Structure 1
Amino acid sequence: MTHGPIGAHMRKGPLRAGQRVQLTDRKGKPSTITLQDGGEWHTHQGVLRHDTLIGRSEGIVIANDAGYEYQVLRPLLNDYVLSMPRGATVVYPKDSAQIVQVADIFPGAHVVEAGVGSGALSISLLRAVGDQGTVHSYERREDFRDIAVGNVEAFFGQEHPGWQVRVGDMQEEALRAEEPGSVDRVVLDMLAPWECLEAVKQILAPGGVWVSYVASVTQMSRLAEALRASGGFTEPEAHETMLRTWNVDGLAVRPDHRMVAHTGFLLSARRLAEDQTPLQLKKREKVSEASSEDRAAWPGERWKDDPDAEEGWDPTALKTRTVSGKKSRKTAAYAQKIADQAKEVPRDG
């Protein structure tokens, strides 16, 4: 018996136990809860019983036992990502949308992802490849893998048959798991993506797209030069996306005071056929050589004139947030609890 597209039963029909719902109060503050039979949601405004929501349509306005009203809707993907349990910092929705577009993720594609984090980008990739596509994800930390698995299963309400997650270094594991030239798209969210250059060259099909998400200018520069030096890719393109919302209230129409500005850079390039040389674009004719100051900005690079340079990029130097194992294991347990509840939602409607 078919149950329709994967995860569709979590997105439509009456509200059911195990599903996530977003409750928005009159001040516009959203809160996300998982519905449970007999469950209660307690706030300083009173108690809202889950049974008053289960079986009803989303889009209703309902009051708790103190008469405090809430607007009830299922969270959109953007809402879900920002409210789900997390270990590593999530890829923001504005960047996930750009990655899906820039990488041209299409239904049925075979995508390799590295740096799973909390699974936010994995969800977007899985939705884009559809039921017939596959996403193979690689993550160094087992605790992050567990958080991501819980979040993805909670969103789809089941295990996604096209998703595989392996723990280990992508540049090693992918060479064992992927056939040469079998991957349509590669998406990397990691500290030093240039370390995967040779692996990507081997597994990515000619014409395939490689997109990397990096946080700093130094990482972006280092990767761009590595791609150019490799000779196996088109000229890399870099950009970032900034999102500014607006206040629209009568004649008071103005930008909001806060915005989601810099979160990361996207660097993309396409794989050339084997033994093909990229065109030397005219805009590169006057490119300058890297100065000693440039080289100093690239920690971990073993330059010919400095064989004692320290290897490896230090997350502390780049001021990236680190997550303790204890905290991530606790988060993983919570994410799995939500996933287990979601799996109980019937898939017949």
Structure 2
Amino acid sequence: MPDPADARSEAPAAPTAGGPASTDVPAEAWSGVHRGPLRAGEWVRLTDQKGRRHNICLEPGKRFFSNRGHFDHDELIGREEGFTVQSSAGGVYLVFRPLLSEFVVSMPRGAAVVYPKDAAQIVAMADIFPGARVVEAGVGSGALTCSLLRAVGPLGRVLSFERREEFADVARRNVTQFFGGTEGQSHPAWELRLGDLAEELPRAGETVDRIILDMLAPWECVDVCSDALVPGGILVAYVATTTQLSRFVETVRAHGGFTDPHAWESLVRDWHVEGLAVRPGHKMMGHTAFLVTARRMAPGEKPPAKKRRPAPGAYGVDYTGPRPLDLPPQVADEPFES
């Protein structure tokens, strides 16, 4: 893998799309965010009175059409975001630049995206920091990649593995669109490789701080991840089902080189607030996936044995998965008591 310092020195600066440089976010920050008047080539998010959203790229001379009439892009270019525009048929649209959390749920998809509520949990609970060396597999449509790149900054490194070329192409376009790179130019801290992490990561010879697995069978990569992670590094899995959750957690426990895995999910519920009418909203973002984190122990070190015994029958005769190394022999023989 090329040295990121070389990539940063060779990569052209992110385009500022005109306007006074002093008002904009520095291009070298690679934030994907702009300040100041809206400019040609930027994406904006239109929201109508019913909450329907449209994302458009501003182009001089072009016109936006909807079932509520039309208006010209030139009416938006040059104005500060946070205004309303009225279409020819009386429709009113709120105009803002899209936030990262808004961009990822509306961008083109090849695979399902990691939703903002889960991406935020990964960035926080995996402690993704500026300058971190991060591996992710697979890249999907690039939603989590954008959050990881925002967190590590141009001095960090994100190495993404994706087995399907069509997904990689979609992710590459989405990441380039968000961070504002020109054709063929992407975030200087990002490298996207086609292939299976279990095969490609050992070949890369990488030593990394964090690994995020968003794949069908993450338990198959635990040994490879163990070899690549620094002591104290964090392994994260993003899995959809309870069977995947169980298999991964028990495989990490049986490996013996990680702390006891921590598993959870996040649920988000809106609230309706109007005067005295304060109640939960009718819509809720419930289960999307389970998250698991575990920290790498130093070579040759083992986590302390758990004092609390497993529940009766947890590892009984019906259980066929991996078993913790310090499991008392008698636990496996105890029948389940209802």
Identity of aligned residues (%): 53
Give 3-state SS (helix, strand or coil) of 1:280's partner.
coil
In the alignment, which residue of structure 1 is the partner of 2:230?
A: 205
Contact 1:6 1:160 in 2 (8 A): no
Contact 1:224 1:236 in 2 (8 A): yes
Give 3-state SS (helix, strand or coil) of 1:257's partner.
strand
After TM superposition, the structure 1 = structure 2 runs for residues 239-318 of structure 1, keeping only pairs within 5 Å, are: 239-284=264-309, 288=313, 290-291=315-316, 293-295=318-320
Q: CA deviation at 1:284?
A: 4.1
Q: Which residue among 171, 188, 199 is the counterpart of 1:161?
A: 188
- Counterpart CA distance in 1 for 2:47 and 2:192 is 34
- Counterpart CA distance in 2 for 1:160 and 1:13 is 22
4+ long deviations beyond 6 Å: none
Contact 1:10 1:19 in 2 (8 A): no
Give 3-state SS (helix, strand or coil) of 1:256's partner.
strand
TM-score normalised over the length of structure 2 = 0.83
After TM superposition, the structure 1 = structure 2 runs for residues 78-117 of structure 1, keeping only pairs within 5 Å, are: 78-117=101-140
Q: CA deviation at 1:184?
A: 0.4
- Counterpart CA distance in 2 for 1:287 and 1:227 is 21
After TM superposition, the structure 1 = structure 2 runs for residues 211-222 of structure 1, keeping only pairs within 5 Å, are: 211-222=236-247
In the alignment, which residue of structure 2 is the partner of 1:148?
A: 171
TM-score normalised over the length of structure 1 = 0.81
Give 3-state SS (helix, strand or coil) of 2:284's partner.
coil
Q: CA deviation at 1:8?
A: 4.3
Relative distance call for 1:9 and 1:108 in structure 2 (3 A) is closer
Relative distance call for 1:271 and 1:64 in structure 2 (3 A) is same
- Counterpart CA distance in 2 for 1:55 and 1:124 is 28
In the alignment, which residue of structure 2 is the partner of 1:44?
A: 67
In the alignment, which residue of structure 1 is the partner of 2:215?
A: 190
Contact 1:6 1:156 in 2 (8 A): no
Give 3-state SS (helix, strand or coil) of 1:172's partner.
helix
Equivalent residue letter for 1:260: M
> Could you list the runs of 5+ residues in structure 1 that have no partner in the other structure?
302-349
In the alignment, which residue of structure 2 is the partner of 1:172?
A: 199
- Counterpart CA distance in 2 for 1:63 and 1:104 is 44
Relative distance call for 1:96 and 1:8 in structure 2 (3 A) is closer
Q: CA deviation at 1:292?
A: 5.6
Contact 1:7 1:155 in 2 (8 A): no
- Counterpart CA distance in 1 for 2:298 and 2:40 is 51
In the alignment, which residue of structure 1 is the partner of 2:331?
A: none
Higher RCO (CA 8 Å, separation ≥ 6 residues): 1
> Could you list the runs of 5+ residues in structure 2 that have no partner in the other structure?
1-11, 14-25, 323-338
Q: Which moved further from structure 2: 4-13 or 220-229?
A: 4-13
Q: CA deviation at 1:160?
A: 0.2
Equivalent residue letter for 2:212: V
- Counterpart CA distance in 1 for 2:310 and 2:267 is 31
- Per-residue displacement from partner, 1:273-327 (whole Å, max 9, x unpaired)? 11112211112456746346443xx7xx9xxxxxxxxxxxxxxxxxxxxxxxxxx
- Counterpart CA distance in 2 for 1:177 and 1:207 is 21
- Counterpart CA distance in 2 for 1:8 and 1:225 is 38
- Counterpart CA distance in 1 for 2:315 and 2:71 is 62
Count of equivalent residues? 295
- Counterpart CA distance in 1 for 2:316 and 2:76 is 64
Q: CA deviation at 1:44?
A: 1.2
- Counterpart CA distance in 1 for 2:96 and 2:30 is 17
Contact 2:236 2:293 in 1 (8 A): yes
- Counterpart CA distance in 1 for 2:80 and 2:247 is 51
Give 3-state SS (helix, strand or coil) of 1:290's partner.
coil
In the alignment, which residue of structure 2 is the partner of 1:123?
A: 146
Contact 1:228 1:235 in 2 (8 A): yes
Contact 1:112 1:183 in 2 (8 A): yes
- Per-residue displacement from partner, 1:82-101 (whole Å, max 9, x unpaired)? 11000111001000000001
Q: CA deviation at 1:66?
A: 2.5
- Per-residue displacement from partner, 1:233-275 (whole Å, max 9, x unpaired)? 0000000000000011111111011100000000110000111
Q: CA deviation at 1:203?
A: 0.5
Q: CA deviation at 1:36?
A: 1.5
